């Protein structure tokens, strides 16, 4: 599925056995996807009686009042951030909202060590390291019985096309993903990235032909999977 104005992004849904005990932001790995939206407060009203659970109402970000966001929980237990930029923010170049709810521009991964996560993306793919900041992550705070105002150590790692990977350092009590598991993890199981062929081949767990010619595999020459420093799964799609 894709936003009505998007030609550059898709959500992919996979039917798996339910994991009733799953809660995002309680263990390492991918936790949330952040979507750019036109106006977040009207969306909160529309979603109030919807199948989505409002986890955190619209609130200005602690480190930047020009960014306003809310958090909702979807049917697979995944967390979605709906984020509005009131005006351009220096140092955080965001894509414009082309429709009411547009594409994901940030994916959020949590792990034990922010430094280890930054090093993985830097050494593996040349993603620049950035200074850490202390920020509210309300959903994670609530899962660990902390105040909504609790600050976590996070960093927004810049990618191309005004996209980012947000790496969150989790409390020490957060368990890792199982080293061996037969099924995809619950929630956001994997995030797909376009990558240079050399990166895909160097880090492959198994390089394979694209499964089909539909999104996101159009013009792809190969597909590989790799695990990051927090055990998260990345799909690397090489383009011809």
- CATH code of the domain containing 67: 3.10.180.10
- Residue-wise pLDDT for 107-140, tens only, equals 999 999 999 999 999 999 999 999 999 988 888 9
- Residue-wise pLDDT for 147-185, tens only, equals 988 999 999 999 988 899 999 999 999 999 887 777 888
Residues 136 and 210 in one domain: no
How many CA within 13 A on the CB side of residue 204? 15
Residue 213: is its pLDDT beyond 60?
yes
Pair 39, 84: CB distance under 8 Å? yes
Domain limits at 140?
A: 29-169
Residues 148 and 212 in one domain: no
In a domain, 185, yes or no: no
Dihedral of the alpha carbons of 176, 177, 179, 184, in degrees to the nearest 10: 180
* Residue range 39-44: mean pLDDT, rounded: 96
Q: Which residues pair with 108 in a beta bridge?
A: 32, 166
In a domain, 208, yes or no: yes
What is the value of pTM for the model shown? 0.89
In a domain, 4, yes or no: no
Q: Which of 198, 119, 111 is nearest to 154 (CA)?
A: 111
Confidence of residue 206 (pLDDT cuts 50, 70, 90): low
Residues 123 and 196 in one domain: no
Q: Any alpha helices (H) in 130-178, and if so which ranges?
A: 138-143
Q: Any alpha helices (H) in 73-173, and if so which ranges?
A: 114-125, 138-143
């Amino acid at each position: 599925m894709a936003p009505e104005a998007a030609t550059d992004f898709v959500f992919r849904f996979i039917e798996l056995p339910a994991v009733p005990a799953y809660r995002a932001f309680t263990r390492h790995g991918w936790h949330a996807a952040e979507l750019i939206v036109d106006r977040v407060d009207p969306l909160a009203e529309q979603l109030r009686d919807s199948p989505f659970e409002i986890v955190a109402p619209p609130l200005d970000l602690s480190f930047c009042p020009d960014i306003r966001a809310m958090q909702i929980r979807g049917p697979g237990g995944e967390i979605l951030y709906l984020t509005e930029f009131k005006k351009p923010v220096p140092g955080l170049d965001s894509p414009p909202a082309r429709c009411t709810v547009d594409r994901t521009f940030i994916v959020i991964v949590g792990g034990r060590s922010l430094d280890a996560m930054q090093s993985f993306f830097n050494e593996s793919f040349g993603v620049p390291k950035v200074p850490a900041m202390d920020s509210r992550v309300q959903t994670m705070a609530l899962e660990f019985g902390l105040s909504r105002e609790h600050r976590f150590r996070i960093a927004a790692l810049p990618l191309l096309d005004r996209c980012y990977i947000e790496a969150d350092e989790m409390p020490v009590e957060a368990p890792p993903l199982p080293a061996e598991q037969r099924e995809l993890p619950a929630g956001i199981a994997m995030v797909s990235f376009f990558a240079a062929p050399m990166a895909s081949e160097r880090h492959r767990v198994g390089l394979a032909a694209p499964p089909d010619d539909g999104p996101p595999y159009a013009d792809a020459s190969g597909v590989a999977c790799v695990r990051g420093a927090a055990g998260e799964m990345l799909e690397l799609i090489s383009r011809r």
